Structure 1
Amino acid sequence: MAPVNILIVDDREENIIALEALLNRDDIRMFSTTSPNDALKIAWENPIAIALVDVQMPEMDGFELVEMLKANPKTKDILVIFVTAISKESKYVVKGLGTGAVDYLYKPLDPYITSAKVDAFIQLARNQAEIKEKNIELQNFAIVVKNSADMICAIDAQTLRIASINPAIEKIMGFKPDEVIGRGVVDLAIDEDQVPFRKKLGEIIKDNLQFAVFEYRFETFEKRVIWAECRMSYRNKTIFLNISDISPQKSFQEQLIKSKEAAEYGKKVKETFLANMSHELRTPVNGIIGITNLLRKTNIDEQQKSMLDLLETSSQSLLGVINDVLDISKIEAGKFSIVRTPNNLRAIVKAVYDLLKFKADEHNIEFLLEIAEDAPQYIQVDSLRLNQILMNLLSNAIKFTDRGHVKLKVTVMQKHNNKVKLKFSIEDTGIGIASDKIATIFESFEQAEDDTTAKYGGTGLGLTIVKKLIELKGGDLTVSSQVGKGSVFNFTNWYEVVDQPKEKATVRDVPRVLAPFKENISVLVVEDNLVNQFMLSKILKEWNVSVDMVDNGRKALDKLKENDYDVVLMDTHMPEMSGYQTAKTIRVDFEEPKRSVPIISLSAASYDHEQQQAISAGMNDVLAKPFMPYELHEKILKLLK
């Protein structure tokens, strides 16, 4: 028995190695690659029966790869199983099935389920191969199976009249066999499909094709329209036609298409809402933080300074909640990106430890840090997301621990070539979690007990973000806990060990009072929020900048026609004309040098693609709200140079 060819596509080598080890056996031949483009080449050059495709890949995602495979006649019949770590929600399943997949495997992979499913699809692939062989036999021997559930008929190639037909026509179309024998087969089709049906039959006879498949609509005895799949073979001036009623499949496909369109529309509506929400929430927070910084520069007493400290703490807390909600939304929308770069592991861990040490001291608990001696110094990692994971887990541990200790421990579990598997353990002696509640703590807006929010606060999003981030990074998260004794959260992942990166230029501590610009600088501020208008005007005037202020894009264009400006600060979301539209108009409709005036987008956007949209619209740089004055100073200075 010939082996079944299986293709494994995953951008992580360790995942491929694990799958190959799991599936290794004599009756299959495995091909593997980390590149989707190479996967297309392999599928073209080899008769691949089954493809295990990772959804999340950098070059192109799994959905795009499968769409390309299904679009090619040579590879369209490959049985695709998606291997994914993203949400199990139905919209992702519908999207995967809509692209042509037959099943899903969810990371972390269960060895027994994986083997069982692959076994089933190997058998399915063999069955498909056998069916194809039998179809060829049917063509060669022109056997008409009278008891078939499908309509099977022999047609005179010269007259296109039905010479014989099996009884299935009565069940499918309501005609008795005697009523259609001698009648033109084209007459079975509805009026609109008769011309293309006749043309297709003529092409098959002319080209002497041994096998062809096509679909047309037929009209039944009761004048009901059905979709018919026609499988034909031509031999010895006779056309052998096998006709199946595929109306249920067509209906199902239409429902899938509608579901897919509805899901895509819902996703677009959600993204638009979140973009607007991001702007509406971040813009006032930017104003609060900015005004707080301005007030610090005025003559204030100690009581007022304490009140400003509280205001700033509240603003940062509100910003943290906003970021949590938007992070969850971006992950669910598939817009969350992981960017791995060489980073100092010990520096990342130590920075998180130092930042939270004061919080542990406030709770009068011991805060311990252990990093294994054999842990690598530098690894390829998204430092921002690793920091986010550790901050969430450790903040939780400290928040829910009244006595005892919280410990962060980093150990090496395995090493393979230049890869290392690290385990991060966060152990506490806090209130613990009931065994029946452990699964729910990772759900959005869920906490272990109903009164947890009242006692300890929080949105219930922290652990959800942690779990989804770890899954996106290809890692595993586990938790063990006892009520009243504490909890241990472990997450493990493989990392690439790298050499020490080149030293980056050190950034000087930014002084509280930023130096005014030496030249006479003129800036146009386009901002519709009154608080932000006041804040920006105040900050810029402290730097000896001449400021003109407008509240929408149309007024900005009028101002730019009247005056020359060194820099334009442009909000993106505004009434009448958005910042994107305004920037495009400046770049297209204005003459030089005004066409090339530097534009900084003052954006409250939370999605990467929105920031990219600003650059694509012609803006030179993006400054995300809320921002600190020194960030604006640096960007203006950079553009002026």
Structure 2
Amino acid sequence: MSVINILVVDDREENIVALEALLKRDDINILSTTSPNEALRIAWENTISVALVDVQMPDIDGFELVEMLKANPRTKDILVIFVTAISKEAKYAVKGFGTGAVDYLYKPLDPYITSAKVDAFIQLAQTQKEIRAKNEELQNYAIMVKNSADVITTVDAQTFRIQSINPAVFKIFGYQPIELLQRSIIDLAADDSQPLFRKKLSEIVNNNLSYAVSEYQFETFDKRTIWAECRTTYSNKTLFLNISDVSPQKSYQQELIKSKEAAEHSRKIKENFLANMSHELRTPVNGIIGLTSMLRKSTLDDQQKNVIDLLEVSSQSLLGVINDVLDISKIEAGKFSIIRKPNDLKGVVKSVIDLLKYKADEKNVELMLEIAPDVPETIMFDALRLNQILMNLLSNAIKFTDRGYVKLQLSAVQKLNDNVKLKFSVIDSGIGIPSDRLTKIFDSFEQAEQDTIVKYGGTGLGLTIVKKLIELKGGELTVSSQVGSGSVFNFTNWYTVTDKPKTVRDNDSSSLRALEPFNEVNVLVAEDNLVNQFMLSKMLKDWNVNVEIVDNGQKVIDKLIAKDFDLILMDTHMPEMNGYQAAKNIRVNFTEPKRSIPIISLSAATFDHEQQQALSAGMNDVLAKPFQPYQLHEKMKKLLDAEAVKTKLLG
């Protein structure tokens, strides 16, 4: 039972002490004062159920105080008991009851009578409080039912006849509520759905189910058939139904199912076709290449050697076309993955140049390589796919350049902590591309001009594969060209720099060293995974950090509005509002100094473009999961130290 507030008003402190001692109980909270004016304030600011008021007081007596309480709508329902030492004559009692009192207690107080009367009025106050709460609940429920967009109805559990129904029935079914009273709810269902509907309602009643959801077809007043979702609750021999028109969703759902089935069917046909094509094409080509190799080892004259050379070139060309078609298909099917590992960037680039140099020499085209000094030696990248991109771009440039040069330039355009943005440029002095064809050259089977195929050959898949691979890696590809002067293909991407000292450190005992604590640092952690929440909380508390944890970006915003923090650790993938959105919100909508609060992105994603997305959203640093404690400690210390220096300079 809830606690009842009792107000005691008496101009003598000893009387208040006596009453408090007499009335002390767990279900009573006593508020007392010797001042009538103070009593009015207390009654206004607190929900008072019972008031014990002394009649004889200076300035304002008890009668006047009660009149003022009863005149105010906020305090008019207080149960007032007068406590008095004056005569018990009827005229005083009448005056007291006339002001709104419910009873009298006469001094000197009898403990038993006082306790009994107060207990009776406490029970009355509790009952009144519960009745008011129920009335308010019923009023709110009535408003909700009346204004609901769904049909809400009560149904007799034995006869299934409608006992009450809200106005929404006219909008959904076309019936006035009064027309359906005492009619069976089963009659509203379409003929085919009536047996199932009746069976379901009977099952709910017979099994005493508290809640059930089902869908049926219903017939409207104008004979239309609609789909409706019925949410049914059973209690006290009454069924409560909430009926929603789900026809649009049902129609859309059915269309989606048809589309999904058609897409699945097409995908399976395509996958089967590609699998068969791969097998049927690769098998004979592999045979041709093998036989060519065998023939080369036999005794051949010069003419036969030339034929073997042509056969080998043709076989490799055919195999390249097969690989292009299959790569495009795998990319479009979402089954093409990028695998990043520490690799020697300059070594990979130089090997591509070495492989293509003979092609350039055959055409008397100069093939050049320029690598800027600040380009790192070792970075995280998929060597196979980078090789594929550069081979396609450079082969394409050599093919369409009859004189002059083809150049590969590699430069670092931006650096951020352990990340570097690299730019690869393939520049040629070839035939160029008309401006109206620049956007089409990346489409499958497209080339700059129709006669290009005749003159230069090719499938038109090379640039398509390059573009899709670069996009899969999170990079960006651009092209500029002038007819007769050549073309420039640029692609940029963020990469993580790796080096041997860092790798060694990750594996030696230094990662297990004791980490110094932080002092008076408040950190807000945004993480929706319970295991990660526990891990981060434990780790940070071991460093004497004050931690608060939320599970989505919106709660980050709410917490930051209400309280100051020194740093935020933000997961990027969270429900309701993700980490990127929350970081952008902070950087745009907050004022200083909260706008500049340091934010570290914590994410299980290791894709370069996702790390760049975090930085672009306004996060100061990125730490990929899983990570070692010292790695988080270092990043936190770095940002907190920088923030301390900035604060000192500004201060």
- State the TM-score bracket (shorter-chain normalisation): 0.5 to 0.7
Identify the residue that residue 384 of structure 1 maps to in structure 2: 384
Instruction: State the shift of 1:393 in Å.
Output: 0.5
**1:180-219 alignment to 2 at 5 Å?**
180-189=180-189, 190-199=193-202, 202=205, 207=210, 214-219=214-219
Identify the residue that residue 48 of structure 1 maps to in structure 2: none
Identify the residue that residue 349 of structure 1 maps to in structure 2: 349
Aligned residues of 2:292 and 2:312 also touching (Cα < 8 A) = yes
**1:115-134 alignment to 2 at 5 Å?**
none
Name the stretch that deviates more: 249-258 or 457-466: 249-258
For 1:228 and 1:194, locate their aligned partners in 2 and report how far apart those are by CA, in whole Å.
Answer: 11
Cα distance change on mapping 1:206 and 1:306 into 2, 3 Å: closer
Matched, 1:300 2:324: no
Identify the residue that residue 334 of structure 1 maps to in structure 2: 334
Instruction: State the shift of 1:281 in Å.
Output: 0.8
Aligned residues of 1:156 and 1:237 also touching (Cα < 8 A) = yes
**1:501-580 alignment to 2 at 5 Å?**
none
Instruction: State the shift of 1:313 in Å.
Output: 0.9
User: Aligned letter for 1:264?
Assistant: E
The C-alpha deviation readout for 1:430-488, integer Å capped at 9, x for no partner, is 12112221111000001111211112111000000001111111111111112222211
Identify the residue that residue 313 of structure 2 maps to in structure 1: 313
Cα distance change on mapping 1:234 and 1:192 into 2, 3 Å: closer
Identify the residue that residue 227 of structure 1 maps to in structure 2: 227
Aligned residues of 1:204 and 1:234 also touching (Cα < 8 A) = no
Matched, 1:442 2:442: yes
User: Aligned letter for 2:348?
Assistant: I
User: Aligned letter for 2:289?
Assistant: I
Q: Which runs of 5+ in 2 are unaligned?
A: 1-135, 504-651
Identify the residue that residue 491 of structure 1 maps to in structure 2: 491
Structure with more relative contact order (C-alpha pairs < 8 Å, separation 6 or more) = 1
User: Aligned letter for 1:270?
Assistant: K
Identify the residue that residue 645 of structure 2 maps to in structure 1: none
Identify the residue that residue 324 of structure 1 maps to in structure 2: 324
Aligned residues of 1:157 and 1:205 also touching (Cα < 8 A) = no
Q: Secondary structure at the match of 1:306?
A: helix
The C-alpha deviation readout for 1:478-510, integer Å capped at 9, x for no partner, is 1111222221111111122223599xxxxxxxx
Instruction: State the shift of 1:356 in Å.
Output: 1.3
Q: Secondary structure at the match of 1:494?
A: strand
The C-alpha deviation readout for 1:209-261, integer Å capped at 9, x for no partner, is 7xx76533334457664311235678998766442221221121011012112
**1:95-110 alignment to 2 at 5 Å?**
none
Larger Rg: 2
CA RMSD of aligned residues (A): 3.1
For 1:145 and 1:294, locate their aligned partners in 2 and report how far apart those are by CA, in whole Å.
Answer: 86
Q: Secondary structure at the match of 1:452?
A: helix
Identify the residue that residue 593 of structure 1 maps to in structure 2: none
Instruction: State the shift of 1:165 in Å.
Output: 3.1
Q: Secondary structure at the match of 1:441?
A: coil
Instruction: State the shift of 1:388 in Å.
Output: 0.6
Aligned residues of 1:445 and 1:459 also touching (Cα < 8 A) = yes
For 2:437 and 2:173, locate their aligned partners in 1 and report how far apart those are by CA, in whole Å.
Answer: 57
Matched, 1:285 2:285: yes
Name the stretch that deviates more: 448-457 or 176-185: 176-185
Cα distance change on mapping 1:450 and 1:366 into 2, 3 Å: same
For 2:169 and 2:288, locate their aligned partners in 1 and report how far apart those are by CA, in whole Å.
Answer: 76
Aligned residues of 1:144 and 1:152 also touching (Cα < 8 A) = no
The C-alpha deviation readout for 1:309-331, integer Å capped at 9, x for no partner, is 11111111111111111111111
Aligned residues of 2:186 and 2:194 also touching (Cα < 8 A) = no
Identity %: 68
User: Aligned letter for 2:366?
Assistant: E
Cα distance change on mapping 1:138 and 1:257 into 2, 3 Å: farther
Identify the residue that residue 403 of structure 2 maps to in structure 1: 403
Matched, 1:164 2:164: yes
Instruction: State the shift of 1:417 in Å.
Output: 2.4
Identify the residue that residue 476 of structure 2 maps to in structure 1: 476
Aligned residues of 1:425 and 1:488 also touching (Cα < 8 A) = yes
User: Aligned letter for 1:198?
Assistant: L
Instruction: State the shift of 1:146 in Å.
Output: 6.0
Identify the residue that residue 61 of structure 1 maps to in structure 2: none
Instruction: State the shift of 1:290 in Å.
Output: 1.1
For 1:490 and 1:193, locate their aligned partners in 2 and report how far apart those are by CA, in whole Å.
Answer: 65
**1:449-464 alignment to 2 at 5 Å?**
449-464=449-464
For 1:266 and 1:168, locate their aligned partners in 2 and report how far apart those are by CA, in whole Å.
Answer: 44
**1:599-618 alignment to 2 at 5 Å?**
none
Cα distance change on mapping 1:206 and 1:242 into 2, 3 Å: closer
Aligned residues of 1:187 and 1:194 also touching (Cα < 8 A) = no
Cα distance change on mapping 1:384 and 1:206 into 2, 3 Å: closer
The C-alpha deviation readout for 1:144-200, integer Å capped at 9, x for no partner, is 666866434344567643233355545544555444211232443323422454157
Aligned residues of 1:327 and 1:465 also touching (Cα < 8 A) = yes
Aligned residues of 2:209 and 2:234 also touching (Cα < 8 A) = no
For 2:362 and 2:311, locate their aligned partners in 1 and report how far apart those are by CA, in whole Å.
Answer: 20
Q: Secondary structure at the match of 1:440?
A: coil
Q: Secondary structure at the match of 2:216?
A: strand
Aligned residues of 2:205 and 2:234 also touching (Cα < 8 A) = no
**1:60-139 alignment to 2 at 5 Å?**
none
Cα distance change on mapping 1:343 and 1:147 into 2, 3 Å: closer
Aligned residues of 1:367 and 1:407 also touching (Cα < 8 A) = yes
User: Aligned letter for 1:285?
Assistant: V
Identify the residue that residue 414 of structure 2 maps to in structure 1: 414
For 2:138 and 2:357, locate their aligned partners in 1 and report how far apart those are by CA, in whole Å.
Answer: 77
Cα distance change on mapping 1:170 and 1:435 into 2, 3 Å: same
Cα distance change on mapping 1:446 and 1:221 into 2, 3 Å: same
Aligned residues of 1:197 and 1:216 also touching (Cα < 8 A) = no
Give the TM-score, by structure 2 length: 0.51
User: Aligned letter for 1:308?
Assistant: I
The C-alpha deviation readout for 1:365-412, integer Å capped at 9, x for no partner, is 222111111111112211111001001001111111222221101111
Q: Which runs of 5+ in 1 are unaligned?
A: 1-135, 503-641
The C-alpha deviation readout for 1:70-126, integer Å capped at 9, x for no partner, is xxxxxxxxxxxxxxxxxxxxxxxxxxxxxxxxxxxxxxxxxxxxxxxxxxxxxxxxx
User: Aligned letter for 1:228?
Assistant: A
For 1:277 and 1:290, locate their aligned partners in 2 and report how far apart those are by CA, in whole Å.
Answer: 20
Identify the residue that residue 141 of structure 1 maps to in structure 2: 141
Cα distance change on mapping 1:143 and 1:159 into 2, 3 Å: farther
Matched, 1:358 2:358: yes
The C-alpha deviation readout for 1:500-535, integer Å capped at 9, x for no partner, is 599xxxxxxxxxxxxxxxxxxxxxxxxxxxxxxxxx
Cα distance change on mapping 1:200 and 1:499 into 2, 3 Å: farther
For 2:299 and 2:406, locate their aligned partners in 1 and report how far apart those are by CA, in whole Å.
Answer: 42
The C-alpha deviation readout for 1:540-568, integer Å capped at 9, x for no partner, is xxxxxxxxxxxxxxxxxxxxxxxxxxxxx
Instruction: State the shift of 1:206 in Å.
Output: 6.1
Q: Secondary structure at the match of 2:454?
A: helix
For 2:143 and 2:158, locate their aligned partners in 1 and report how far apart those are by CA, in whole Å.
Answer: 20
Aligned residues of 1:437 and 1:448 also touching (Cα < 8 A) = yes
Identify the residue that residue 426 of structure 2 maps to in structure 1: 426
Aligned residues of 1:431 and 1:485 also touching (Cα < 8 A) = yes
For 1:381 and 1:461, locate their aligned partners in 2 and report how far apart those are by CA, in whole Å.
Answer: 23
For 1:371 and 1:137, locate their aligned partners in 2 and report how far apart those are by CA, in whole Å.
Answer: 75
User: Aligned letter for 1:324?
Assistant: D
For 1:288 and 1:469, locate their aligned partners in 2 and report how far apart those are by CA, in whole Å.
Answer: 30
Q: Secondary structure at the match of 2:410?
A: strand
For 2:199 and 2:323, locate their aligned partners in 1 and report how far apart those are by CA, in whole Å.
Answer: 57
Identify the residue that residue 249 of structure 2 maps to in structure 1: 249
